[in-house]
Structure 1
Amino acid sequence: MPMLGGVRPPIASLVALLLLVAALTVIGLNGIHAGQVPQAVLNDEQQIAADTALSVRTAIDVEASTVRRTATTYPATSTTTPTTALKALTSARKTILGSALLDPHTGHLLATGGKPVPPTGADVLRAATRHQSIRPRLVTSGGTRQLLYFGRVTLPAQQEDANQDQYQASSRSQRQWLLVVCETLPALTTYGDGRTAAVLDANGTALATTARGTASPAAADRGLPTAAARAANGSGSDTDAAGSLLGATTGSLRTVAGWAQVASTTGPGDTDGLGLVVLTSRAVPVTTTPADYSRFALEAAGALAAVSLLLGLALYFLVQRPLLRLYLSAGRLSRGATEDEPTALEGLYRPVPVHGFGELALIGRALESLRRQLLGESGPETFPARRGPGYRALAVVGVLVVACWAVPMIFLVNRADTATAVPTAVLAAQQARTELAANRVRQSLDQSYTDLSEVAAGLPGLSRAAQTKLLRHTLADHKQYRSLYLLNRSGGITLRTGDTPLRTLVHVPDGGGITTVNTSGRIPAIAAYAQVRAVKGKALAAGVVLFGEIDVKALNSILPRPKLGSVWVTDDNNKVLAASVGYRAFQSLPDSGLTRLVRAAQGAPGTAGTATSAALRTSSGPSADAAAPLAQSGPTARLGWHVVTTEPAAALQVPAVQAEQRTMLAGILGLTLGTACLGWLHVVVIRPLRAVAVLVERLAGGDRRTVLHPVNHDEVGSVTRSLELIRQALAERDRTARSGHAAALSRSPRETTLQR
């Protein structure tokens, strides 16, 4: 008989799947290994190096863009000379070591300033004449490595003839000058006590080194720079590759290092081709007690294997075997009721054995009553109401037995203690990365303020049309602004370009800096502002303050970093202004523990505060959390803003958390699969048995009209078909008996008359 369901598959699946969960428990927990240095510490150091490389890359990109923009926007006239142009282009830049103006066609030096600029090379001149983008160059000057930045100064057409006699090297086709600026490498900032950071060239030579606090002797591993440069050179086409290294061991400390290339992550950029690599290192305590969960894994797997075999045997003896015997008995009776063969008739004289309990026992007793009715030994029989547990209770008990193993696995055993779940080194790394994130936000806001100040300095003395043109040009060049506008002394907007301002505050601040210009609404409005000075002898500018509202999306985009978790920027009232995850403007932080952490980082009134970190437990488990003030100095220092991060410990590859996570997963799998298989058994066997039990009681009690329809092609369906055949045989016998009795009644009067 084809079996499309039946009692066997659920029971076999229950045993097989629970044994599989037991095997996965052993494999999963035995796969947790804790070396002398946790993998989470190595991963964090790699990410710190990548974050530091990002800061260096951003600084180089910003400087290269500034040099190009300054040169491009320089208002050269027909009387401008290279000397005056070079002085105007570089006088306000304090970081410049040397500068020069070149004729890109001939390479002739037109003007110089500061220290001598190293030769640029013929390829730079070719790129300048072809109007190609010129990336910064890493050169050696005076025994030190320096960066060259390039920009094009556009000349008016009439200047060619005016300056031709003075500069014979310039041809009549000259249209530009090439500005070359020589600067040192960007300042390298290190976060985290005891950590050192260095910028390396492609050969592993340190170009700049910095440290915070007192570095451990173990951190002074001279082989790390060479190893980092070799790893970076072997990364192939991956221009933003990063990795981690293990250094020397000194006593109970071992050096952990991270390296990352200073290159663009989104395609060709200004830092590509420089071959710079950032190396960070820090000495961390060595773990002397390895994590070993093998014994627990074997015990848990053995307990689950025992549970699965116990349930399998119980279901086999209490459900499967009695049901199969009932199936055979019902088939025997149906053949005896419908066939005239002697072997089939013999089956009616064999009593129906009653096996099991509950529904199967009731059906067995009813079948025995039907057998006697088929033989004419008895009539319809009424059964008492069912009492005692049925097979539904057996399924519930099975679920409870599985739950006795699974619930402790989910909620009790191998629970990671919040205080020890996250190692101290991981918390320190989370704090350092939070400080790096705050530094990125500060750099972005400071650059926005610097750019806006330059624009504000060029507004006085311009006509309204010229001011509008300048603001539109600025908005097109600086994508971080969503709106630029001028405020008069009463707070009214006199000139605007870009989107509709989100500003709701009407006060006109003094000085310049960064501020928020609304306190409610759907989008937080962060703005840079700068004063527009009056011009002597002329009327005041159209407005007194220039505001540039910063697109919050631009701020949100710099917050996410790999393995940093969720990041928020909060104001002085601990309300969210920007985040790497979904948020509502000016909402509170999602956890009260994070709010307390921010308050701990605020410090005394009037101070910027200090970064802090802690291991907190949320609804999702332990997490590494940190908060850092946005800035210690500069235009954003007085804001009182903070950057807050939280990374679930489950994502940090900490052995204790991995054990908790995999133990919970084993418990959830065991409970889910056990419940699913027992539910499957209830659907295909127990529930149909309960329905058949009701019908067979009626049939044994004399109901010959209710047709029994088999639903499934399994044992229960076969029993139902056999009962239907028995019902038809009993109904036919009853009809025959009624027709014979009616015939006897119709013949009785005639027989009486004949006898007289």
Structure 2
Amino acid sequence: MAIAGVVWAIGGRVEQGATVPTAVLDSQLGVTAGAAQHVRRSLHAGELNLAQLASELARTTDPSTFSDQVKDFRDRYQRRYRSVFVLDSGRHVLARAGSEPHPGHVPDNPLRAGTTEAVGIDKMPVVLQYAPFALGDGGAIAVAEYDLANLRYVLDALLPATAWVVNAKGEVLASTAGFTAFQQLGREEVRRAAQTASDQPGVSLGGSFEEREIVASAPVRGSAKLRGPTWRVVTARSVDTIVLPQTQARDQALLVALAVATVTVGVFGWLYVMWLRPLRRLVYDAERIADRDLRSGVEVRRYDELGRVARSVERIRIDLVRSAAAGADVDQAQVPRIMPRQVP
């Protein structure tokens, strides 16, 4: 059964050196492009939420109440933002919630809402989303530091492929695997996919002959209607994790054959233990008695047909012992010494 379990676990995998179907490559490309679109929409949703906060702040005539609104906003999206704050026209923090703010990364006098390129804050990749709004004569800016670790839930949908979000330089911003922020990807194939300048998704089959992998990448930037940063989502999936119908059918047939063989061995083992071995012992005892060897009794341990035969053979042995004792004029008191206990 252990062998059958292994076949079931690896069943259907692409054989070494086999051609990977185009449909498999297209599928990997499609899920990668979908993840890139999801990343772009997640960032855009953050911009819309922050713009709504800025609109609410603009309707407030008293800046002293900003703190409560900013705190409520951050509590509502606590997993998304590490810090939320408001800057006045002099770049002073009017209100804040969460971690220490970093106003130095916010553009000067932005005209519309937007998102900065990823920066390192406390050794973690973060983008700052901002939304200007009217406040007195100079205006103000609502800012939220978007923690890119939250993109992990988007990338987890790509498992068992390993996925990365990288910036235009090919530096890692988020990943399903362990990574150091802003490090370059290690393997040549995925590094090349990360640094491509194309605005179109692409897929290739890379790696060595023994360890081939499908590498796909797709831009996050998107269309002019819904622009995202100049990032890419890169995925790499080992060919060994791909299940193909033709090889799966073969391996399922092998699994069935192994299961039948296992059951057959089990049945024959049961027959040997329960019937063949006791029967061989009974044949041995019968031949021994036929040769006038009456010293040992016939073991009776069963109550089925084989046990009935064993009892009958044992009674025959007892009768022969008694007959031999009587014919040799042996003292009958000594006969039980060579006879077993009563047959059950």
Shorter-chain TM range is 0.5 to 0.7
- Select which of 4, 13, 17 maps to 1:416: 17
1:625 aligns with 2:215: yes
5+ long unaligned stretches in structure 1: 1-20, 34-38, 41-413, 604-608, 659-756
State the partner residue of 1:465. 64
Tell me the amino acid that sits aligned with residue 596 of structure 1.
R
- Select which of 525, 543, 552 maps to 2:148: 552
Tell me the amino acid that sits aligned with residue 95 of structure 2.
L
Could you say what secondary structure the match of 1:484 adopts? strand
Cα–Cα, structure 1 residues 494 and 423, in superposed 2: closer, same or farther, change >3 Å? Answer: same
Could you say what secondary structure the match of 2:119 adopts? coil
1:421-440 maps to which residues of 2 (within 5 A)? 422-440=20-38
State the partner residue of 1:453. 51
Q: Could you tell me whether the CA contact under 8 Å between 2:17 and 2:209 is conserved in 1?
A: no
Tell me the amino acid that sits aligned with residue 493 of structure 1.
V
1:523 aligns with 2:124: yes
1:45-94 deviations in whole A, cap 9, x for unaligned? xxxxxxxxxxxxxxxxxxxxxxxxxxxxxxxxxxxxxxxxxxxxxxxxxx
1:640 aligns with 2:238: no
Cα–Cα, structure 1 residues 627 and 584, in superposed 2: closer, same or farther, change >3 Å? Answer: same
- Inter-partner Cα distance in structure 1 for 2:130 and 2:93: 13
1:734-745 maps to which residues of 2 (within 5 A)? none
State the partner residue of 1:649. 239
State the partner residue of 1:614. 204
Deviation at 1:611? 0.7
Tell me the amino acid that sits aligned with residue 474 of structure 1.
F
Q: Could you tell me whether the CA contact under 8 Å between 2:117 and 2:127 is conserved in 1?
A: yes
Could you say what secondary structure the match of 1:588 adopts? coil
- Select which of 464, 468, 484 maps to 2:84: 484
1:101-128 deviations in whole A, cap 9, x for unaligned? xxxxxxxxxxxxxxxxxxxxxxxxxxxx
1:567 aligns with 2:168: no
1:500 aligns with 2:100: yes
Could you say what secondary structure the match of 1:627 adopts? strand
- Inter-partner Cα distance in structure 2 for 1:503 and 1:468: 17
State the partner residue of 2:41. 443
State the partner residue of 1:240. none
1:505-557 deviations in whole A, cap 9, x for unaligned? 364262222223624751011222111224xxx4444xx22111113332222
- Inter-partner Cα distance in structure 1 for 2:113 and 2:243: 45
1:101-158 deviations in whole A, cap 9, x for unaligned? xxxxxxxxxxxxxxxxxxxxxxxxxxxxxxxxxxxxxxxxxxxxxxxxxxxxxxxxxx
Deviation at 1:646? 1.1
Q: Could you tell me whether the CA contact under 8 Å between 1:502 and 1:517 is conserved in 2?
A: no
Could you say what secondary structure the match of 1:429 adopts? helix
Deviation at 1:656? 11
1:333-344 maps to which residues of 2 (within 5 A)? none
- Select which of 179, 182, 191 maps to 1:595: 191
Deviation at 1:432? 0.3
1:713-724 maps to which residues of 2 (within 5 A)? none
Tell me the amino acid that sits aligned with residue 203 of structure 2.
S
Tell me the amino acid that sits aligned with residue 33 of structure 2.
E
- Inter-partner Cα distance in structure 2 for 1:474 and 1:635: 26
- Inter-partner Cα distance in structure 1 for 2:159 and 2:240: 11
Cα–Cα, structure 1 residues 566 and 577, in superposed 2: closer, same or farther, change >3 Å? Answer: same
Could you say what secondary structure the match of 2:50 adopts? helix
Tell me the amino acid that sits aligned with residue 623 of structure 1.
E
1:280-310 deviations in whole A, cap 9, x for unaligned? xxxxxxxxxxxxxxxxxxxxxxxxxxxxxxx
- Inter-partner Cα distance in structure 2 for 1:526 and 1:618: 37
- Inter-partner Cα distance in structure 1 for 2:226 and 2:195: 18
1:155-170 maps to which residues of 2 (within 5 A)? none
- Inter-partner Cα distance in structure 2 for 1:517 and 1:428: 30
Deviation at 1:415? 4.0
Deviation at 1:657? 10
Provide the TM-score with structure 2 as the length reference.
Answer: 0.61
Could you say what secondary structure the match of 2:157 adopts? coil
Q: Could you tell me whether the CA contact under 8 Å between 1:616 and 1:625 is conserved in 2?
A: yes
- Inter-partner Cα distance in structure 1 for 2:210 and 2:144: 40
- Inter-partner Cα distance in structure 1 for 2:184 and 2:132: 33
Tell me the amino acid that sits aligned with residue 567 of structure 1.
A
**Superposed CA RMSD:** 3.4
Cα–Cα, structure 1 residues 447 and 616, in superposed 2: closer, same or farther, change >3 Å? Answer: same
Q: Could you tell me whether the CA contact under 8 Å between 1:513 and 1:636 is conserved in 2?
A: no
Q: Could you tell me whether the CA contact under 8 Å between 1:440 and 1:558 is conserved in 2?
A: yes
1:1-150 maps to which residues of 2 (within 5 A)? none
State the partner residue of 1:81. none
Tell me the amino acid that sits aligned with residue 466 of structure 1.
T
Could you say what secondary structure the match of 1:473 adopts? helix
Q: Could you tell me whether the CA contact under 8 Å between 1:416 and 1:656 is conserved in 2?
A: no
Provide the TM-score with structure 1 as the length reference.
Answer: 0.29
Tell me the amino acid that sits aligned with residue 555 of structure 1.
L
Aligned length: 243
Cα–Cα, structure 1 residues 636 and 517, in superposed 2: closer, same or farther, change >3 Å? Answer: farther
- Inter-partner Cα distance in structure 2 for 1:442 and 1:562: 16
Tell me the amino acid that sits aligned with residue 514 of structure 1.
T
Q: Could you tell me whether the CA contact under 8 Å between 2:29 and 2:216 is conserved in 1?
A: yes
Q: Could you tell me whether the CA contact under 8 Å between 1:525 and 1:552 is conserved in 2?
A: yes
- Inter-partner Cα distance in structure 1 for 2:167 and 2:100: 23
Deviation at 1:489? 4.2
- Inter-partner Cα distance in structure 2 for 1:445 and 1:618: 36
Q: Could you tell me whether the CA contact under 8 Å between 1:489 and 1:508 is conserved in 2?
A: no
Tell me the amino acid that sits aligned with residue 84 of structure 2.
L
- Select which of 512, 525, 528 maps to 2:113: 512
Tell me the amino acid that sits aligned with residue 450 of structure 1.
L
Q: Could you tell me whether the CA contact under 8 Å between 1:427 and 1:613 is conserved in 2?
A: yes
Cα–Cα, structure 1 residues 635 and 584, in superposed 2: closer, same or farther, change >3 Å? Answer: farther
Q: Could you tell me whether the CA contact under 8 Å between 1:528 and 1:549 is conserved in 2?
A: yes
Deviation at 1:428? 0.4
Q: Could you tell me whether the CA contact under 8 Å between 2:37 and 2:222 is conserved in 1?
A: no
- Inter-partner Cα distance in structure 2 for 1:586 and 1:646: 19
Deviation at 1:630? 0.8
Cα–Cα, structure 1 residues 518 and 474, in superposed 2: closer, same or farther, change >3 Å? Answer: same
Deviation at 1:651? 0.9
1:66-465 maps to which residues of 2 (within 5 A)? 415-416=16-17, 420=19, 422-460=20-58, 461-465=60-64
Cα–Cα, structure 1 residues 525 and 465, in superposed 2: closer, same or farther, change >3 Å? Answer: same
